[in-house]
């Protein structure tokens, strides 16, 4: 879908050429591009202010019939995220106009005072991600994605970065795979089905795949996970994906929360909080898609993806508040709130991964708490880790991919809120406040001495209305971040 074009812009043929224009600075140095931009001089309403738009048709000597000038705003405000947004919006506009192939002009790196690699990568990411439509469930498909998006650059840049389009496609396809899993409604992704679908995609990349069914989980003693599953007629699964290159010296494990629907259980959620709970498997989607994308670039480390998949429902068989269960590692847990189910399935999956695979680093990704959304809003994930070096690397990757993470504290004295009178630990904090922190402290009880980070993606995993480069539904948050991180660890 993505590629480069170079040469004489006037002679290139597409359905539209998109030219980014800045309001306070010239950002191009190709003379043809500059002379085409000069045609906007007569249109007073177009200044290049952010989101300004002007389309000119059939310019003399230009082969492409439609030139769309789009404002980038002030040069100081341009960064990788605004370039991603710019290209996402450009693609969405052209999808709306029913176009098929477009050409986006890349600004000059010296003029933007940024590295060319970062500029092109961000622009390609925005275009590729903005081109995804989730319309599986629509009878009439009003729009179709663009077939081709080319980026106009100078010949030496094309040469230097010729491998970039396919790399961007690998990682962004992972994001889109995760988005689709998240957006699929819960009736079409009961645990058995989701495990199968993820296994099928993973199998294509020759990852090793294991699926544990309910009997196996019972035999192995996944008591906390099974307690969450007990209220649903759809049985749980544990999916394990493994990428194991020869001679690997390190093992990185990812664990993703896979609640295919979170009703809250007997602690039933109120309406208004239930509607989007198909998204409560976004951590699982991010982990599965990360392994699938990572396998394509063949990193050196062994990578494990552990994905507990459960539906949290209520019935006569459901776990009751106050019930005590025994987790995989033997600790007893008093389940004082059946809506705090994510930490239960994660605890067992984490214990299992640590025992069986002895990872050097373990990172779990989960839509764990509403409290994290209260703290950081819908666009920023909460990052928790006792390990400064690991946390710093995650924050660096997050900055690069635009999947923002903010480090949160793990105060030791908050642990007392998890005390239970009857069991080893309670899944529910006795304090009303700091829920994202106490949830993480609960997980930390199962980590032993493994290097570990927890990313709470309850906010950014899902968007009701869509963003500049994402339609409504799952965002695929975390996939590009984790893929980048793998290359840094
Ligand atoms: N799946 C929710 C967290 C969530 C909330 C995700 C909003 C996305 C958007 C989680 O299982 C949950 O219900 N957490 C409870 C924990 C509480 C009962 C301690 C919460 O955050 O209210
Ligand atoms: Mg819940
Ligand atoms: Zn949940």
* CATH assignment at residue 250: 3.40.630.10
Quickly state the pLDDT bin for 113 (edges 50, 70, 90).
confident
Residue of 122, 125, 101 whose CA lies nearest to 112? 122
pLDDT of residue 112: 87
Question: Is 435 close to ligand 1, i.e. is its CB under 6 Å away?
Answer: yes
Tell me what the mean pLDDT of segment 67-94 comes to. 97
Note the pLDDT tens digit of each residue in 28-40.
Answer: 999 999 999 998 8
Q: How far apart are CA 185 and CA 194, in angstroms?
A: 11
**DSSP state string for 361-406:** EEEEEE---HHHHHHH-SS-EEEE-S-HHHHHHHHHHHHHHT--EE
User: If DSSP codes are grouped into helix, strand and coil, which group holds residue 465?
Assistant: coil
Residues 19 and 66 in one domain: yes
Q: Is the minimum distance from the CB of 348 to ligand 1 under 6 angstroms?
A: no
- pLDDT over 80 (residue 21): yes
User: How distant, in Å, are the alpha carbons of 88, 303, 322, 354, 373 from that of 253?
Assistant: 32, 6, 32, 9, 25
End residue of a domain, out of 162, 185, 220: 162
Give the residue, out of 370, 374, 379, 441, with the most ligand 1 atoms within 8 A of its beta carbon, to mutate for a pocket test. 370
Q: Is 367 in the pocket of ligand 1 (CB under 6 A)?
A: yes
Question: Strands (DSSP E) along 263-344, which ranges?
Answer: 302-312, 323-326, 332-335
Same domain, 114 and 218: no
Distance 222 CA to ligand 3 centre (A): 18
Domain final residue pick, 139, 162, 185: 162
**Ligand 1 centre from 50 Cα, in Å?**
37
Domain ends where: 109, 142, 162? 162
Of 269, 296, 379, 399, which residue is the catalytic one? Answer: 269
Contact 341 CB / ligand 1 (< 6 Å): yes
CB 149 within 8 A of CB 131: yes
pLDDT for 206 equals: 84
Quote the CA–CA distance of 287 and 265 in Å, as a whole number.
Answer: 25
**SS3 state of residue 234:** coil
Q: Residue 310 has what pLDDT? A: 99
Q: How far apart are CA 387 and CA 397, in angstroms?
A: 16
Q: Report the percentage of the chain scoring pLDDT > 90.
A: 97
Domain residues for the domain of 11 are: 2-162
Q: Are residues 84 and 194 in the same domain?
A: no
Ligand nearest to the CA of residue 463, numbered in listed order = 1
Same domain, 278 and 346: yes
Are 158 and 174 in a shared domain? no
Q: Which atom of ligand 1 is nearest to the CA of 264?
A: 13
Looking from the CA of 362 toward its CB, the CA atoms found within 13 Å total 27
Residue 43: per-residue pLDDT: 79
The CATH number covering residue 43 comes to: 3.40.220.10
Q: Is 343 among the residues known to form the active site?
A: yes
Considering every ligand atom shown, identify the ligand nearest to the alpha carbon of residue 372 and give its number.
Answer: 1
Do 245 and 311 belong to one domain? Answer: yes
| Smallest CA separation from ligand 1 atom 13, residue | 339
Total structural domains within the chain: 2
User: Which numbered ligand comes closest to the C-alpha of 310?
Assistant: 3
Same domain, yes or no: 146 and 173: no
Average pLDDT over residues 380-400: 98
How high is the mean pLDDT of the chain? Answer: 97
Same domain, 111 and 241: no
* Cβ atoms of 143 and 433 closer than 8 Å: no
Determine the Cα–Cα distance for residues 121 and 234; give it in Å rounded to an integer.
Answer: 42
Residues measured by CB to lie within 5 Å of ligand 2, the ion: 262, 339, 341
Q: What is the pLDDT of residues 211-234, one digit of tens each?
A: 999 999 999 999 999 999 999 999
Query: By alpha-carbon position, which residue is closest to atom 3 of ligand 1?
Result: 369
Tell me the three state secondary structure of residue 169.
Answer: helix
DSSP state of 17: E
Regarding whether 336 and 387 lie in a shared domain, the answer is yes
For the beta carbon of residue 60, count every other beta carbon within 10 angstroms. Answer: 6
Question: Cα separation of 319 and 215, whole Å?
Answer: 18
pLDDT at 42: 77
CA of 369 to the centre of ligand 1 (A): 4
Same domain, 147 and 181: no
Q: Is residue 111 very low, low, confident or very high in pLDDT (cuts 50, 70, 90)?
A: confident
pLDDT at 45 over 90: no
Q: Is 419 a catalytic residue?
A: no
Tokens of 29: 């140095």
Same domain, 59 and 11: yes
What value does the CA radius of gyration of the chain take, rounded to a whole number of Å?
24
Place of tokens 């812009």: 9
Q: For 162-214, how does the pLDDT look when each residue is reduced to its tens digit (9 = 90+)?
A: 999 999 999 999 999 999 999 999 999 999 999 999 999 999 998 999 999 99
Q: Name the band, by pLDDT with cuts 50, 70 and 90, for residue 484.
A: very high
- Which range (126-130, 202-206, 401-405, 454-458) has the least confidence? 202-206
Pick from 369, 456, 474 the residue to mutate for probing ligand 1's pocket: most ligand atoms within 8 Å of its CB: 369
Global pTM reads: 0.97
How does pLDDT run across 439-469, given as a tens digit for each residue?
999 999 999 999 999 999 999 999 999 999 9
Task: Please check whether residues 176 and 251 belong to one and the same domain.
Answer: yes
Query: Which of the listed residues 267, 339, 440 should we mutate to test ligand 1's pocket, taking the one with most ligand atoms within 8 A of CB?
Result: 339
């Amino acid at each position: 879908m993505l590629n480069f074009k170079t040469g004489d812009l006037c002679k290139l043929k597409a359905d539209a050429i998109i030219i980014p224009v800045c309001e306070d600075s010239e950002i191009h140095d190709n003379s043809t591009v500059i002379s085409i931009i000069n045609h906007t001089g007569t249109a007073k309403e177009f200044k290049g202010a952010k989101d300004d738009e002007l389309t000119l048709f059939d310019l003399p000597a230009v082969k492409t019939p439609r030139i769309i000038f789009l404002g980038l705003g002030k040069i100081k405000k341009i960064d990788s995220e605004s370039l991603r947004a710019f290209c996402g919006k450009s693609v969405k506009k052209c999808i709306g106009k029913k176009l098929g192939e477009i050409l986006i002009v890349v600004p000059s790196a010296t003029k933007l005072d940024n590295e060319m690699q970062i500029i092109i990568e961000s622009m390609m990411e925005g275009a590729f991600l903005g081109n995804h439509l989730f319309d599986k469930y629509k009878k009439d498909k009003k729009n179709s994605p663009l077939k081709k998006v080319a980026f106009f650059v100078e010949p030496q840049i094309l040469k230097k970065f010729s491998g970039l389009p396919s790399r961007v496609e690998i990682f962004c396809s992972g994001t889109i795979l995760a988005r689709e899993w998240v957006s699929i409604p819960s009736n079409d992704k009961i645990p058995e089905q989701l495990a199968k679908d993820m296994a099928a995609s993973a199998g294509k990349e020759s990852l090793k795949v294991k699926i544990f069914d309910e009997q196996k989980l019972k035999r192995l003693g996944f008591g906390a996970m099974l307690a969450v599953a007990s209220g649903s007629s759809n049985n749980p699964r544990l999916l394990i994906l493994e990428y194991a290159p020869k001679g690997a010296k390190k093992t990185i494990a990812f664990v993703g929360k896979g609640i295919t629907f979170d009703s809250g259980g007997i602690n039933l959620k109120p309406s208004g909080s239930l509607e989007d709970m198909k998204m409560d498997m976004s951590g699982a989607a991010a982990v599965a898609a990360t392994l699938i994308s990572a396998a394509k670039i063949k990193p050196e480390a062994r990578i494990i993806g552990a994905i507990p998949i459960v539906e949290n429902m209520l019935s006569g068989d459901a776990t009751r508040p106050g019930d005590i269960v025994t987790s995989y590692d033997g600790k007893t847990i008093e389940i004082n709130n059946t809506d705090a189910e994510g930490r239960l399935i994660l605890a067992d999956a984490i214990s299992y991964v640590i025992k069986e695979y002895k990872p050097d680093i373990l990172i779990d990704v989960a839509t764990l708490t509403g409290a994290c959304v209260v703290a950081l809003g819908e666009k920023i994930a909460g990052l928790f880790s006792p390990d400064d070096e690991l946390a710093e690397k995650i924050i660096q990757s997050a900055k690069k991919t635009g999947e923002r993470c903010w480090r949160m504290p793990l105060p030791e004295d908050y642990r007392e809120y998890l005390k239970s009178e009857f069991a080893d630990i309670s899944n529910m904090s006795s304090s009303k406040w700091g829920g994202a922190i106490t949830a993480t402290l609960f997980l930390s009880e199962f980590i032993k001495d493994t290097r570990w980070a927890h990313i709470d993606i309850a906010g950014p995993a899902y968007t009701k209305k869509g963003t500049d480069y994402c339609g409504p539904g799952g965002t695929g948050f975390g996939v590009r971040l984790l893929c980048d991180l793998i290359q840094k660890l």
